[in-house]
Structure 1
Amino acid sequence: MNTNPSSMPEKTRTEDLPLISVIVPVYKVERYLDRCIQSIVDQTYQNLEIILVDDGSPDACPDMCDAWVAKDHRIRVIHQENRGLGAARNSGIRISTGELIGFVDSDDWLEPTMYEVLYRSLTKENADTSMITGVLEYPNGRQIYLYHPDLHLVMTTSESFKYINLPGYSTISAWSKLIKRSTLGNIRFPEGCTGEDWQFTYDILAASVRTTFDSTPQYHYRQVAGSLSNTSTNFNFAGYEATKNMVKLVHQKFPEQLPFALYGQMRSMVSLYDQALVTGHAKEQQWRDFAEDTRTFVNQNMKAVTESVTLPRGRRLQLKLMAISPTFYGVFFLLHKRIHPERSK
């Protein structure tokens, strides 16, 4: 599929194009909010309904949201008490009217062609959900791109559960997606937890007969020290539980993809334990028990995974160390972090 932004018109005519509802939860981002909203307003795909959900933000954000309503007739605002990211997105879904639904985090910004690319992929392939990728943006100007370049996938429901579990081939994040309302149905984000994107994404993939993925980066994902998603003690238990549920679903409905699902659960478990190591919690009994569960899970499923999944050399070594001894693994992991502090897991 051709998603080269240079071939796209400056602005897309809105006649006969479906309305896209873009839902933006807003909380304590006054430094970044204007850039975020401006990047949505400036999209080449103009038929947008932009829903700002002020989630009880204690700074200038509520007034900034109201000011944007006066600037662009496509913008709507909800003011509500602070209930968290999942609840804010669900509030936006509730009042949205678009045939298509997208999400943006309010400290990030978009390439002008993002929704044009998502819409073209969706319609060209007659898909239910389309996905793009983004670039991690650090305060010092460093950028990290985590996906395979020039990749264009059209996936069945079964295939989507293969690629969602392979790093670089797909993405869990809600901001990466454009979803048909008919596909969204009654699917909503879990509330009162972190890692809400995981269960939501698995539910959306299960409901999508066809899903597209274009690895051309269209989103700028700001890495802000101290933000909710970058707080080291914010353990992603919800993501881990969602991954376990995903494995059960794949086992029942798409057994041909089970090795990839098992690999996804291994990565989820090891990532959680890495977090415990970095934060100094690994010596606590609950994490010692979790580490032993992880070691057992890796030993039980490593053969099935390696028979179907081509593991990168570093990942294979990582899993082998964990299978031998979590303590042994922890020593090597912390040493690696000390030598390479710039590398993110």
Structure 2
Amino acid sequence: MPEKTRTEDLPLISVIVPVYKVERYLDRCIQSIVDQTYRNLEIILVDDGSPDACPDMCDAWAARDCRIRVIHQENRGLGAARNSGIRISTGELIGFVDSDDWLEPTMYEVLYRSLTKENADTSMITGVLEYPNGRQIYLYHPDLHLVMTTSESFKYINLPGYSTISAWSKLIKRSTLGNIRFPEGCTGEDWQFTYDILAASVRTTFDSTPQYHYRQVAGSLSNTSTNFNFAGYEATKNMVKLVHQKFPEQLPFALYGQMRSMVSLYDQALVTGHAKEQQWRDFAEDTRTFVNQNMKAVTESVTLPRGRRLQLKLMAISPTLYGVFFLLHKRIHPERSK
């Protein structure tokens, strides 16, 4: 582990950590933030009405490290918890961590260096998916460093492996954050937040070196029918409108992003057994129509992986046929992340 760098005289970074029912993982998460080589941190733990030992654990950590502040509030959800943290934060720079994950010791130093070196408004890193059986998945192109204009950021955010929606991946200037906040009362709040941040950033950097460990809790999504990412889908539609108006040169990439969002949402309906319901039949038909209307524009600008091209062609032909192949693939390869 590298020696801690003297960064007390560098800008204060506020790290906001919503906490809810993660007592098994919380100590590792907080320890990884406390141990950052970038020392000038304000660590804000937002106890979102957690019914377990987390509230006491947060208070104990605050007693051990003067950089830690704690908010206790009634349960209001992830977006509201992050917004509460933003409200009391004082740092010139803002970051977010999910309380069941953990960081590499250099994460915020890497983010800060990238931000300052490129005179950027937002910097991003990547993470590794961590599964309970010890399996790890890395989803990004290796050794990649991008410096993007606002327009270019809407190209790369829609290309898998070149950027990431997740709030934890980012370090954001407070002046860029402004009045941007997370949607509340929904899942998928990272999508609209990220699009708003990219639109407000004149320059954004992306470093594909993994600095974050993103814990995958078995069954958290695929076995739950209430976690459909409608907010992410609506945010993606809003993003397409924004790109059409302000960055038309990136429209094929935005359309591709909407295709992926629609197909992913339908995949959730298939996995949870809801696809035969009328609302999902209608949604599948809307998806088929959207893919057929925009496939030519997308393929003229976007190089699609063979598997993705086949996926979209099947959806364009028949959502029923697509569903058969999708569920068969999931049965043969249950270990693969969607």
Question: Residues 281 and 226 from structure 1, CA distance in 2 versus in 1: closer, same or farther, beyond 3 angstroms?
Answer: same
Tell me the distance in 1 between the aligned counterparts of 2:337 and 2:34: 32
Inter-partner Cα distance in structure 1 for 2:7 and 2:240: 41
Who is 1:149 aligned against? 142
Question: Once the 2 structures are TM-superposed, how far is the Cα of residue 232 of structure 1 from its aligned partner?
Answer: 5.4
Say which is worse superposed, 34-43 or 219-228, in terms of deviation. Answer: 219-228
Is the 1:189–1:200 contact (alpha carbons within 8 Å) kept by the matching residues of 2? yes
The 8 Å contact of residues 49 and 76 in structure 1, kept in 2 or not, is answered as yes
Contact 1:225 1:231 in 2 (8 A): no
Pairwise CA distance, 1:12: 1.9
CA deviation after TM superposition for structure 1 residue 14, in Å: 2.6
> Cα–Cα, structure 1 residues 13 and 106, in superposed 2: closer, same or farther, change >3 Å?
same
Aligned CA distance change for structure 1 residues 229 and 125 (closer, same or farther; 3 Å)? farther
8 Å CA contact retained: 1:223, 1:230 = no
In structure 2, the gaps of 5 or more residues are none
Change (3 A) 1:63 1:15: closer
CA distance in 1, matches of 2:222, 2:17: 16
Give secondary structure in 2 for the equivalent of 1:141. coil
Query: 1:284-320: CA deviations, max 9, x gaps?
Result: 0000000000000000000000000000000000000
SS for the counterpart of 1:228 is coil
Where does residue 7 of structure 2 map in the other structure? Answer: 14
Once residues 281 and 162 of structure 2 are traced to their aligned partners in structure 1, the CA distance between those partners, rounded to angstroms, is: 32
* Aligned-partner SS, 1:105: coil
- CA contact 2:222–2:271 (8 Å) conserved in 1: no
Between Structure 1 and Structure 2, how many residues are aligned? 338
Q: Equivalent residue for 2:81?
A: 88
The 3 A distance-change label for structure 1 pair 231 and 130 is farther
Q: Which moved more, 1:227-236 or 1:107-116?
A: 227-236
User: Corresponding residue for 1:245?
Assistant: 238
CA RMSD of aligned residues (A): 1.2
- Residue 228 of structure 1 and its aligned partner are, at CA, apart by 6.7
- Deviating runs (4+, > 2 A) in structure 1? 225-233
* Aligned counterparts of 2:153 and 2:266: Cα–Cα separation in 1: 26
* TM-aligned CA deviation for residue 13 of structure 1: 1.3
**C-alpha contact (below 8 Å) 2:48/2:73 kept by paired residues:** yes
Deviations 1:182-219 (A, max 9, x none): 00000000000000000000000000000000000000
CA distances 1:139-195 after superposition (whole Å, capped 9, x unpaired): 000000000000000000000000000000000000000000000000000000000
Question: In structure 2, which of residues 126, 134, 137 is the aligned counterpart of residue 133 of structure 1?
Answer: 126
Provide the TM-score with structure 1 as the length reference.
0.96
5+ residue gaps in structure 1? Answer: 1-7
TM-score when scaled to structure 2? 0.98
* SS of the residue 2:125 aligns to: strand
Conserved? CA contact 1:233–1:279, under 8 Å: no
Other-structure match for 1:51: 44
CA deviations on 1:118-155 (whole Å, 9 max, x unpaired) are 00000000000000000000000000000000000000
Counterpart of 2:222 in 1: which secondary structure? helix
